[in-house]
Structure 1
Amino acid sequence: MESKELMELVAKSCDDKRAEDIVVLDMKNVSLIADYFLICHGSNERQVQAIARGIKQDVEEKDIEVKRLEGFEHSRWILVDLDDVVCHIFHEDERGYYNLERLWGDAPTYTYQEIEQDQGQM
């Protein structure tokens, strides 16, 4: 699966679990870490865990391996590493503090609505 398709799958998984403020950073020309960072948040620990579980389930159904899942126990910031796509799921209170969108401000940024509208053009 291409990294763009994987990013779209992960974004949909987040949306299906009612993640809030889903943002994708296109990291291809910014960093060697991944092609895409997906950032979202949940309003409580249970929702943050549900979002991470949903991603894991959806990608494993497509025979994609989760390389690393960190932070699940405390559920303040869960990182789901899928190689070319890294998903950061924050607790609502933590997202503003870490502000990854600002840290990686030179990366092109897309909202989930833009991804839905422009599928195939990014």
Structure 2
Amino acid sequence: MNEASILKVAAEACDDKRAEEIIALNMQGISLVADYFLICHGNSDKQVQAIAREVKDQAEEHGIHVKRMEGFDEARWILIDLGDVVAHVFHKEERGYYNLEKLWGDAPQEDLPL
């Protein structure tokens, strides 16, 4: 499965759990970590965990290897490593604090089919 397909599966999983402000940054040529960063947030610990769990479950259902998931218990910033795509699921307050969109401001945003 190519990175665009992985990004689509992850974004749809976020949308299914009503994640807010879902964006994708094209990190190709900018970061060696991944080709795409998917960023979204939830408004409660439970919602943040539900979003992350759905991304993981949908990825596995589509045959995408989930390399690692960090931060699930704290539910403030959950990182899901899907290889070429890294999903960042934030709690609303943490998203504003870390502001990855500004940190990686030179990365172009991708259109998501949601």
Instruction: Please report how far the alpha carbon of residue 73 of structure 1 lies from its aligned counterpart in structure 2 after TM superposition.
Output: 0.4
Q: Which TM-score applies when normalising by structure 2? A: 0.97
Greater alpha carbon shift after TM alignment, 16-25 vs 57-66: 57-66
In structure 2, C-alpha distance between the alignment counterparts of 1:91 and 1:98, rounded to whole Å: 11
Structure 1 residue aligned with 2:36: 36
Structure 2 residue aligned with 1:116: 113
In structure 1, C-alpha distance between the alignment counterparts of 2:70 and 2:113, rounded to whole Å: 28
Please, which runs of 5 or more residues in structure 1 have no aligned partner?
118-122
In structure 1, C-alpha distance between the alignment counterparts of 2:3 and 2:86, rounded to whole Å: 10
Structure 1 residue aligned with 2:81: 81
Instruction: Please report how far the alpha carbon of residue 115 of structure 1 lies from its aligned counterpart in structure 2 after TM superposition.
Output: 1.6
* Aligned structure 1 segments of 4 or more residues deviating by more than 6 angstroms: none
Please, which runs of 5 or more residues in structure 2 have no aligned partner?
none
SS in 2 for 1:72: coil
- Deviation string, structure 1 residues 41-100 (Cα, Å, up to 9, x no partner): 000000000001101110101121110100000000000001100000000011000000
Is residue 98 of structure 1 aligned with residue 95 of structure 2?
no
Q: Which TM-score applies when normalising by structure 1? A: 0.90
RMSD: 1.0
SS in 2 for 1:31: coil
Structure 2 residue aligned with 1:68: 68
